[in-house]
């Protein structure tokens, strides 16, 4: 490999050709602050517009300062990263950015983990010498995401995420000069845009310009209401990430403490969405076998590949961008909604209470789940199956709010019956997990044989698109996996072209799957945070005594006592749904498409 | 084919057209018909440059130069000049110093000191007729290049000529071509940057309106040299006449086989398309221009990579400005040696300037590099209007700086202007006299850059806005000396950290006026006084009771009734009500009103 020798702050550095000054400096322990720059190498996400100019450095012989995040090293380059000229420039630029950013830190939900705040602190900004007019944008509140462009610093991370990685194309820079901001097409509300609510824009926003919709107060109100029974369901990815907000290393499983914290918050029952994930596998796995059976028998009408439907961001994406393929989506509801439906029927009946007096709160790694819970088809006479969906960071806030010393909590256990789960459901939280869980069950149901090796290693990893052929005792089942909507789009294009080789496709809207969800504690560009979360879920799966959804005794009981057969009439009524063509809603049809 | 011995050239540039030159042409044609002058042809040419005196009509062969012609003068011109052989004296140009009539264009001071290379055909040929261009050796250079020379030889000729980019940066043109040539790629592009945006500059427009074929020819030569088969002209949509004439030129060139497949029987094929800009100043920056052509947001990206390596649609792209191209055919015809004999050591050839402001002869001029500012302003420009005192000249438009009395004998070239704190830019030259306030002037240019910033990088987006706010504070009398310190620091940091040429140069008007006219800044902040009485909030109008006759005219014209007084008794102005519009001073017949 060709290397380059240069000098940074009097240190000799040798780096491969093509290395940026920023990375070269990093390699010798020199930390240059960055603001707009962000890279998630496994996900092929890189935002380096060179826009914030915080990372500028002095290069000998160069007229002006250079952005180290963009500038590649050249032979013999002499770089200085903290001369008075550089530091004055950095501070002045920082003051400029702060001069158009509301100083609302104390009441901002990003307080304490805001990247702008950190750099201001590190640079020792004590005074803003350049004050003047400030942006005055209207705050846009969608069901999942709040967009407050008065806080936007134009780092463009959200734009790169939304367009390059997710290919949703909901966010773009609009206007010019001081009025420039990130917005939707024609500056519509996000609710009227092509946004799928995946929330990835929120997870990369360094400030709080994009944030999750806050639903803590109604949850607190319900908990305080003596007439209500309040139950919690926690998604698998939450337990690997929640600890990060309490000082744990990334990927630390805090399942037991989370259960105890929820109980201490006043939840009457603490259940597990994993239970519903097992239920999803029963329904979706059965649906896959039905469709596969018809398909293999030469039925041309059947929609193959079957696409998973547990991710609401993905479902919205299909409904808005590819409604013509919505019948390929499994009709099985997502685990969150299956849980809600069962809780408000089976469990409410068990308790002998009206569903209106049962409040279901889901704790999700996801912002789109808020929107999903609000969909009218997931309610009975106006009473939603899931009353409130809060995301991981919101749960952390509630725990702190209630003066709970998280680290000192004992490990609690989920309540029964809706708290029991298998290893198969745990891995729902990472990309490839749903399909792996489905394979474990579908294999045994299809072959009527025992599956000895439950670890489908070929389905794991962080490669954007993965595929594998699973041998169902002589029947090769072809499986495609995509995470990130941009990757999903590629699989979808194959279906549209008629070149898709797959029988089943798993899609997670967020890169990495739910572990990288928009409601999770911020990774702040550290890829290993996501890797460790995924590893933790596979660890938890490996340690579970039961690892196949259909072996969950409470699931077996549920079918026996209440639901009947998977995909049977009762199951169909409670656990399946339909999808809507939303292209019209967001105005995406072209004139010619409309006239057809 | 008809044979003509007399030609009447009428300026068909945008300025003269706005003063009814089309009607003049029609009337002239009617008169020519009426008098049966079959040997006389009326030709609509491009801009003559002498816009101050437009509409302009020139008689060939005797070069009689009629100025400020009205449509109603047409009959007289034809009858007197052509039929009776007498010049229409009342329409001749009058020498402002000697007050003598000037019989022909060769004796007009405005033209005497000019050397027109880029503008060689402007005001001489009908731009809509390819035959007229060919008659002036048009497309001979292309033929020579294709048939007799290798691309390397052409590039060497351009390099030897010393031609540098006329769009602002002054990068050696031949070197740029060579870099693009050396990059291996299946598809390359050459681009003509016709996104002229400096306020008051119109050299590119005039060349495209007056001599579009020279651009078509030069682009084809560029394509041959760099290995590009496609040319793109990026032109602002506000230049409808230039667009129209360029379209005609491209169509005619195609009809003559000078564009298209196998030009001059060689295996070189080349085609040109037009791309429209929406009039954003920043799109004159080459990376922003390319993004705009790609349909993306018009904003700059960090260089490297340079367009020569990674440009339009990722292909190597050679971007040159209109005026640069206009020089190419002449260089090939007359040789590098000839071209490099003109100009200074490091700046060869000529430069077109748009001379504007407080100068007698406003217009478009072309002079050899190395001509002094004094020769341009006082020689060609005819000195300062109304006999006032010269104060400063702003070169390089909003990106340039202002030069003063002490710079008047500075030979104009790229390097001299840079070291004097200004720049060549695209060639705007705005002259200011003693009445102009330099602080207000800096604010005026900041108005423009604040408006035209794309908003991508923080220093330009927020910094220029803050610069403008500080200048606003100073010019409204609220500034302090501390503001001057802040102003200089901010201007320096923006220059040092902004992403593209726009931001890196936008503080130049501030810095150069601070360097050259610091006393004016001090007067504004220390004494809250505008020495030029230009800053409204700092001026007050008074009536000298000794001169006032009490005629009441001022009181009657005052739009806010701020002036009171009885007939024949000196009036007074109420400073609280006065809006400092200056109407009273303008109308007073006794010079009794003064401003302080």
Q: What is the CATH number of the domain that holds B570?
A: 3.30.70.20
Range of the domain at B95: 6-110
Considering only CB atoms, which chain A residues are within 8 Å of B493?
88-89, 92-93
- The CATH number that applies at residue B427 is 3.10.20.600
Q: Is residue B116 part of a domain?
A: no
B240 touches chain A (CB under 8 A): no
Q: Which two tokens stand for residue B202?
A: 């119109």
d(CA A308, CA A303): 13
Categorize the per-residue pLDDT at B2 as very low, low, confident or very high, splitting at 50, 70 and 90.
Answer: low
Catalytic residue among A58, A159, A283, A287: A287
* Whether residue B404 is found in the same domain as residue B467: no
- Residue A310 annotated among the catalytic residues of the structure: yes
- Model confidence at B1: pLDDT above 50: no
- Residue A514 annotated among the catalytic residues of the structure: yes
My answer on whether omega of the bond before B55 falls inside 30° of 0, hence cis, is: yes
Catalytic residue among A104, A377, A493, A584: A377
- The CATH number that applies at residue B135 is 3.40.50.11540
- Model confidence at A596: pLDDT above 70: no
- Model confidence at B189: pLDDT above 70: yes
The contacts of residue B388 (CB under 8 Å, 6+ apart) are: B358, B433, B434, B435
Inter-chain CB proximity B457 and A50 less than 8 Å: yes
What ipTM is given for this predicted complex? 0.93
**How many residues would you count in chain B?**
596
Q: What phi and psi values does residue B404 have, to the nearest 5 degrees?
A: -120, -175
Q: Which residues of B561-596 are buried (b: 16+ CB within 10 A; e: fewer)?
A: ebbebeeeeebebeeeebebeebbbeebeeebbeee
- Residue A372 annotated among the catalytic residues of the structure: yes
* Whether residue B293 is found in the same domain as residue B167: yes
Number of domains chain B contains:
5
Q: Is residue B119 part of a domain?
A: no
Residue A351, pLDDT score: 95
d(CA B309, CA A11): 32
Inter-chain CB proximity A96 and B304 less than 8 Å: no
- Residue A155 annotated among the catalytic residues of the structure: no
What is the CA angle B506-B508-B513, rounded to 5?
Answer: 135
Q: What is the mean pLDDT of residues A361-365?
A: 98
- Model confidence at B242: pLDDT above 50: yes
* Whether residue B284 is found in the same domain as residue B378: no
Chain B nearest CA to A142, separation (Å): 26
* Whether residue B591 is found in the same domain as residue B448: no
Q: Is residue B234 part of a domain?
A: yes
B496 touches chain A (CB under 8 A): yes
* Whether residue B263 is found in the same domain as residue B402: no
In B278-386 the beta strands, taken as DSSP E runs, fall at: 317-321, 350-357, 363-368
* Whether residue B491 is found in the same domain as residue B399: no
* Whether residue B141 is found in the same domain as residue B223: yes
Please tell me which residue of chain B has the smallest CA distance to A91: B493
Three-state SS annotation for B279-304: CCHHHHCHHHHHHHHCCCCCCCCCCC
Please tell me which residue of chain A has the smallest CA distance to B503: A177
Tell me: the pLDDT tens digits for A82-137?
A: 999 999 999 999 999 999 999 999 999 999 989 999 999 999 999 999 999 999 99
d(CA B277, CA B192): 12
* Whether residue B304 is found in the same domain as residue B236: yes
Q: Identify the sign of the CA torsion A60, A64, A69, A72.
A: negative
List the single best residue of A34, A37, A51, A154 to mutate versus B (max B Cβ within 10 A): A51
Q: What is the mean pLDDT of residues B440-469?
A: 96
Inter-chain CB proximity B454 and A180 less than 8 Å: yes
Contact between B517 and B511 (Cβ < 8 Å): no
Among B433, B456, B485, the domain boundary falls at: B433
H-helix segments, A167-242? 200-204, 216-224, 238-241
Please give the interface size between A and B, counted as residue pairs whose CB atoms are below 8 Å apart.
Answer: 107
Residue A589, pLDDT score: 75
d(CA A318, CA A497): 16
Contact between A508 and A199 (Cβ < 8 Å): no
Among B466, B493, B526, the domain boundary falls at: B526
Q: Record the pTM.
A: 0.92
Catalytic residue among A115, A159, A283, A372: A372
d(CA B556, CA B563): 8
Q: Which two tokens stand for residue B200?
A: 């008051």
Categorize the per-residue pLDDT at B84 as very low, low, confident or very high, splitting at 50, 70 and 90.
Answer: very high
* Whether residue B448 is found in the same domain as residue B429: no
Residue with tokens 């680290």: A407
H-helix segments, A136-199? 157-160
Residue B176, pLDDT score: 96
DSSP one-letter code for A508: E
Q: Is residue B345 part of a domain?
A: no
Contact between B256 and B130 (Cβ < 8 Å): yes
Tell me: the pLDDT tens digits for A130-139?
A: 999 999 999 9
Chain B nearest CA to A466, separation (Å): 28
Q: How many helices (H) and strands (E) does chain A have?
A: 21, 22
The chain-wide mean pLDDT, for chain A, equals: 94
Residues pairing with B542 in the sheet: B594
Three-state SS annotation for B458-470: HHHHHHHHHHHHH
Q: Is residue B48 part of a domain?
A: yes
Q: Is residue B278 part of a domain?
A: yes
Q: Is residue B425 part of a domain?
A: yes
H-helix segments, B476-558? 481-497, 501-505, 508-516, 518-526, 553-557
Residue A593, pLDDT score: 72
Q: What is the mean pLDDT of residues A468-485?
A: 93
Inter-chain CB proximity A93 and B495 less than 8 Å: no
Q: Which two tokens stand for residue B506?
A: 């936008």
* Whether residue B276 is found in the same domain as residue B418: no
* Whether residue B92 is found in the same domain as residue B203: no
Contact between B210 and B45 (Cβ < 8 Å): yes
Considering only CB atoms, which chain A residues are within 8 Å of B280?
176
Among B311, B336, B361, the domain boundary falls at: B336
Residue A65, pLDDT score: 97
* Whether residue B31 is found in the same domain as residue B165: no
Distance of CA B483 to the CA centre of its chain: 34
Q: Is residue B120 part of a domain?
A: no
- Residue A330 annotated among the catalytic residues of the structure: yes
Task: Give the residue among A252, A124, A144 at the shortest CA–CA distance from A189.
Answer: A144
Task: Give the residue among B348, B427, B418 at the shortest CA–CA distance from B168.
Answer: B427
d(CA A519, CA A198): 9
Instruction: Kindly list the structural domains of chain A, giving each domain's residue range(s) and its CATH number in brackets, ordered by start.
Output: 3-99 (3.10.20.740), 135-212 (3.30.70.20), 216-575 (3.40.50.1780)
* Number of other residues whose CB lies within 10 A of the CB of residue A545: 7
- Residue A287 annotated among the catalytic residues of the structure: yes
The chain-wide mean pLDDT, for chain B, equals: 93
Categorize the per-residue pLDDT at A287 as very low, low, confident or very high, splitting at 50, 70 and 90.
Answer: very high
Q: Which two tokens stand for residue A127?
A: 């005074």
Chain A nearest CA to B279, separation (Å): 13
């Amino acid at each position: 490999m060709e290397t380059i020798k240069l000098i940074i702050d009097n240190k000799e550095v040798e780096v491969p050709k093509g290395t940026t000054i920023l990375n070269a400096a990093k390699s010798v322990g020199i930390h240059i602050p960055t603001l707009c720059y962000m890279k998630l190498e496994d996900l092929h996400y890189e935002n380096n517009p060179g826009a914030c100019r915080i990372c500028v450095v002095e290069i000998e012989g160069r007229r002006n300062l250079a952005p180290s995040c963009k500038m590649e090293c050249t032979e013999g380059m002499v770089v200085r990263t903290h001369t008075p000229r550089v530091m004055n420039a950095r501070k002045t630029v920082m003051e400029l950015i702060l001069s158009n950013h509301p100083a609302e830190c104390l009441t901002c939900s990003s307080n304490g983990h805001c990247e702008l705040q950190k750099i201001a602190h590190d640079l020792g900004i004590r005074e803003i010498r350049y004050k003047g007019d400030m942006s005055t944008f209207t705050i846009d509140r969608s069901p999942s995401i709040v967009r407050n462009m008065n806080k936007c610093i134009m780092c463009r991370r959200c734009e790169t995420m939304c367009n390059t990685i997710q290919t949703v194309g909901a966010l773009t820079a609009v206007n010019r000069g001081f009025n420039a901001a990130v917005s939707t097409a024609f500056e519509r509300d996000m609710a009227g845009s092509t946004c799928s609510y995946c929330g990835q824009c929120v997870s990369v926003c360094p400030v709080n310009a994009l944030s999750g919709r806050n639903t803590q107060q109604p949850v607190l109100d319900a908990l305080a209401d003596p007439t209500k029974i309040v139950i919690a369901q926690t998604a698998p990815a939450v337990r690997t990430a929640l600890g990060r907000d309490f000082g744990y290393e990334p990927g630390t499983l805090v399942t037991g403490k989370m259960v105890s914290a929820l109980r201490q918050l006043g939840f009457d029952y603490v259940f597990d969405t994993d239970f519903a994930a097992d239920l999803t596998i029963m329904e979706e796995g059965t649906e896959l076998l039905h469709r596969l059976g018809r398909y293999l028998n030469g039925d041309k009408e059947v929609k193959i590949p079957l696409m998973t439907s547990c991710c609401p961001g993905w479902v919205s994406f299909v409904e808005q961008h590819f409604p013509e393929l919505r019948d390929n989506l499994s009709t099985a509801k997502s685990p969150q909604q299956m849980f809600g439906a069962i809780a408000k029927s089976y469990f409410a009946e068990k308790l002998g209470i009206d569903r209106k007096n049962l409040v279901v709160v889901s704790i999700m790694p996801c912002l789109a789940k808020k929107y999903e819970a609000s969909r009218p088809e997931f309610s009975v006479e106006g009473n939603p199956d899931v009353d409130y969906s809060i995301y991981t960071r919101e749960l952390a806030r509630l725990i702190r709010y209630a003066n709970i010393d998280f680290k000192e909590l004992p490990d609690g256990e989920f309540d029964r019956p809706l708290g029991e789960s298998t290893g198969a459901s745990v891995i729902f939280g990472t990309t490839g997990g749903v399909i792996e869980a489905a394979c474990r069950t579908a294999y045994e149901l299809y072959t009527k044989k025992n599956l000895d090796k439950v670890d489908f290693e070929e389905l794991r990893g962080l490669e954007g698109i993965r595929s594998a052929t699973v041998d169902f005792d002589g029947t090769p089942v072809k499986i495609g996996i995509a995470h990130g909507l941009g990757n999903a789009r590629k699989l979808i294009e194959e279906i549209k072209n008629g070149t898709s080789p797959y029988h089943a496709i798993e899609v997670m809207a967020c890169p990495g799957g739910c572990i990288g969800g928009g409601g999770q504690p911020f990774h702040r560009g550290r890829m290993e945070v996501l890797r460790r979360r995924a590893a933790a879920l596979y660890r938890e799966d490996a340690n579970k005594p039961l690892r196949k959804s259909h072996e969950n005794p409470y699931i077996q009981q549920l079918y026996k006592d209440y639901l009947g057969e998977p995909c049977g009439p009762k199951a169909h009524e409670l656990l399946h749904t339909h999808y809507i063509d939303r292209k019209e809603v967001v105005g995406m049809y072209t004139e010619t498409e409309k006239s057809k | 084919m008809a044979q003509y011995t007399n030609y009447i050239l009428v300026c068909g540039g945008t300025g003269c057209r706005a003063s009814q030159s089309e009607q003049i042409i029609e009337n002239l044609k009617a008169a020519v018909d009426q008098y049966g002058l079959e040997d006389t042809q009326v030709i609509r040419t491009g801009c003559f440059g002498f816009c101050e005196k437009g509409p302009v009509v020139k008689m060939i062969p005797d070069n009689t130069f009629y100025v400020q012609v009205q449509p109603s003068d047409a009959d007289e011109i034809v009858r007197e000049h052509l039929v009776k052989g007498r010049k229409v004296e009342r329409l001749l140009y009058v020498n402002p110093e000697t007050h003598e009539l000037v019989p022909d264009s060769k004796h007009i001071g405005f033209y005497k000191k000019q050397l027109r290379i880029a503008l060689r055909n402007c005001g001489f040929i009908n731009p809509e007729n390819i035959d007229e261009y060919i008659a002036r050796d048009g497309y001979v250079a292309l033929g020579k290049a294709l048939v007799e020379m290798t691309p390397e030889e052409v590039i060497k000729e351009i390099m030897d000529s010393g031609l540098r980019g006329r769009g602002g940066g002054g990068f050696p043109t031949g070197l740029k071509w060579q870099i693009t040539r050396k990059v291996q790629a299946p598809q390359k592009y050459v681009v003509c940057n016709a996104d002229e945006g400096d306020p008051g500059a119109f050299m590119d427009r005039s060349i495209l309106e007056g001599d579009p074929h020279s651009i078509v020819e030069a682009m084809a030569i560029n394509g041959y040299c760099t290995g590009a088969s496609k040319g793109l002209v990026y032109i602002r949509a506000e230049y409808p006449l230039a667009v129209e004439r360029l379209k005609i030129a491209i169509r005619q060139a195609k009809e003559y086989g000078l564009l298209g497949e196998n030009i001059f029987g060689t295996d070189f094929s080349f085609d040109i398309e037009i791309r429209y800009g929406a009039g954003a100043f920043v799109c004159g920056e080459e990376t922003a221009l390319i993004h705009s052509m790609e349909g993306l947001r018009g904003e700059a990206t960090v260089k490297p990579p340079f367009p020569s390596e990674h440009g339009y649609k990722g292909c190597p792209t050679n971007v040159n400005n209109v005026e640069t191209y206009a020089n190419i055919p002449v260089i090939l015809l007359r040789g590098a040696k000839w071209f490099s004999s003109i100009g200074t050591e490091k700046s060869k050839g000529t430069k077109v300037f748009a001379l504007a402001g407080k100068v007698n002869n406003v217009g478009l001029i072309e002079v050899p590099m190395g001509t002094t500012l004094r020769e341009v302003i006082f020689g060609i420009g005819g000195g300062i209007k109304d006999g006032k005192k010269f104060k400063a000249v702003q070169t390089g438009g909003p990106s340039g700086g202002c030069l003063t009395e002490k710079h008047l004998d500075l030979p104009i070239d790229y390097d001299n202007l840079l070291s004097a704190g200004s720049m060549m830019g695209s060639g705007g030259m705005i002259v200011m006299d003693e009445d102009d306030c330099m602080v207000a002037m800096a604010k005026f240019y900041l108005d423009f850059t604040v408006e035209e910033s794309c908003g991508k990088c923080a220093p330009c987006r927020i910094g220029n806005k803050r610069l403008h706010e500080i200048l606003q504070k100073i010019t409204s009398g609220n500034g302090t000396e501390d503001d001057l310190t802040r102003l200089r620091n901010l201007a320096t940091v923006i220059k040092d950290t902004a992403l593209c040429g726009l931001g890196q140069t936008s503080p130049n008007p501030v810095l150069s006026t601070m360097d050259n006219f610091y006393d004016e800044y001090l007067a504004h902040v220390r004494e809250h006084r505008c020495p030029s009485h230009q800053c409204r909030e700092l001026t007050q109008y008074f009536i000298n009771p000794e001169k006032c006759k009490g005629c009441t005219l001022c009181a009657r014209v005052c739009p806010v009734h701020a002036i009171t007084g009885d007939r024949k008794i000196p009036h007074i102005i109420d400073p609280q009500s006065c809006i400092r519009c200056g109407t009273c001073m303008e109308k007073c017949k006794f010079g009794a009103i003064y401003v302080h």
